[in-house]
Amino acid sequence: MSRKIQSVKGMNDLLPIEQKDFKLTASFWQAFEEVVARWTLRYGYQQIRTPIVEQTGLFVRSIGEETDVVGKEMYTFSDSNDTLSLSLRPEGTASCLRAVVEHNLTYAAPQKLWYMGPMFRRERPQKGRYRQFHQVGIEALGFPDPDIDAEIIAMCADLWRELGIADYLTLEINCLGNREERAAHRTALVEYLLQYETQLDDDSRRRLHTNPLRVLDTKNPDLQEIANRAPRLIDFLGEASRQHHDAFKALLDGLGIVYVENPRLVRGLDYYNQTVFEWTTDKLGAQATVCGGGRYDGLMEELGGQPTPSIGFAMGIERLLLLVHEFGCLKADNSPDVYVMQQGEGSTLIAMRYAAQLRAAGWNVLQHSGSQKLKNQFKRADQSKARFALIVAESEAASGSVTLKDLQGMHGQTTVPAEQMINQLKEWKA
């Protein structure tokens, strides 16, 4: 036998069954995708699908060279015979905006877009953190006012309710101000952090000169005190930013959405300004953030488009579904309605015809193939978790009747003329 080839570390298979260390099944995932399709439609969002590979420069320019995502975590390679550097996408916003600019989608009207798919980051794999993971995201492009900030938060809350996990998520918000306000804050922050330069860890010392805002985001327990006492961005906000933030909070209050203001919330990507937020949980260990987002009013221009104030968020599907799997409600039942069995040489074709009739009437049908032993067929039917069995016996087929069995309920077994099989199943199912 040849040596087995394993999947790539940090990249999961989605199977019909639960795995020991990965509880999410493909059918659970599919049920979630169906919820997402309806949810986005309810809010007037249109789907966009972009390639998984983009020019590396797109991510460098949008996410920022000094971020962990671009600096350390991207899968980058050069196309053969080509000097062009390509990368697997680490997130969805950059690609989405690239496509919007390229196809001039916001020319006539603002756009509300959503996407879903795999993202790639070379991180240390652990529960809730993978190298191929999946996101659902939305982007509202061309909306300057805080009403949209509040609406997308309400949209998240709506999904948490539908999935039964609202009680396990906390909303944290912050305001990052505009470019000038951030620059003034940055100067004060660097000055403050320089006093503690020797106490900082390597990561924070590096960030001090490249991306000092990110020092506030440190998870190092020894640095919490320093980060807590650092100058707060919120104290550097001018009138317009303050008004935007206050109006945003007033709408959340009015909608009855509870939030925590976290002045240290900065987000890991460079393109954010003004409103930023995260939905966090204490149920997934260190991987606390299920969904994050904010405004990126300058990003379209950065990517060569017209100035287009915009806001969006992305949620990690694995983290979200791990939470739903344990605490929420999402029904995923892909078992067949009817398992069709046949007995005797001549019954296969008749059984296939009955199966076709059932499918045409909207039933999900699994037809037996293989061993003709009835015991074996019943075993397979049980394994399939089918609700009913249809048994086509050669002896009955001649007289045009079939046997139905309720495999899970109390209806037992009955033999009926074939024309009545659908009505009988409907009656049993009701």
Positions touching ligand ATP (CB under 6 A) are 91, 121, 123, 128-130, 133, 135, 268-269, 287, 289-292, 314-316, 318-319
Distance CA 416, CA 418 (A): 6
**Least distance CB 67 / ligand ATP (angstroms):** 9
Residue 147 or 326: the one with the smaller Cβ distance to ligand ATP is: 326
**Tokens 């937020």, residue located:** 277
**Least distance CB 32 / ligand ATP (angstroms):** 14
**Least distance CB 161 / ligand ATP (angstroms):** 19
- For residue 337, how many other CB atoms are within 10 A of its CB? 17
Distance of CA 128 to the CA centre of its chain: 12
Quick check: helix, strand or coil at residue 365? strand
Adjacency order of strands within the sheet including 76-78: 53-55, 85-88, 76-78
Structure tokens at 284: 């997934």
- For residue 131, how many other CB atoms are within 10 A of its CB? 19
**Least distance CB 247 / ligand ATP (angstroms):** 24
Quick check: helix, strand or coil at residue 21? coil
Q: CA nearest 11: which of 186, 98, 134? A: 134
Residue 316 or 336: the one with the smaller Cβ distance to ligand ATP is: 316
Residue 320 or 391: the one with the smaller Cβ distance to ligand ATP is: 320
Residue 91 or 139: the one with the smaller Cβ distance to ligand ATP is: 91
Residue 323 or 341: the one with the smaller Cβ distance to ligand ATP is: 323
Query: Going by DSSP bridges, is the β-strand pair 365-367/338-343 parallel, antiparallel, or unpaired?
Result: parallel
Structure tokens at 138: 């939305």
Contact 179, 266 (CB under 8 A): no
DSSP 213: G
Residue 284 or 397: the one with the smaller Cβ distance to ligand ATP is: 284
Q: CA nearest 33: which of 167, 163, 169? A: 163
Task: Please identify the residue of the shown chain whose CB is closest to the bound ligand ATP.
Answer: 316
DSSP 428: H
Contact 54, 102 (CB under 8 A): no
**Least distance CB 133 / ligand ATP (angstroms):** 3
**Least distance CB 225 / ligand ATP (angstroms):** 21
**Least distance CB 142 / ligand ATP (angstroms):** 22
**Least distance CB 371 / ligand ATP (angstroms):** 43
Cα 332–Cα 337–Cα 339 angle in degrees, nearest 5: 125
Residue 138 or 381: the one with the smaller Cβ distance to ligand ATP is: 138
**Least distance CB 130 / ligand ATP (angstroms):** 4
Residue 135 or 343: the one with the smaller Cβ distance to ligand ATP is: 135
Structure tokens at 379: 């075993």
Distance CA 317, CA 339 (A): 33
Residue 274 or 287: the one with the smaller Cβ distance to ligand ATP is: 287
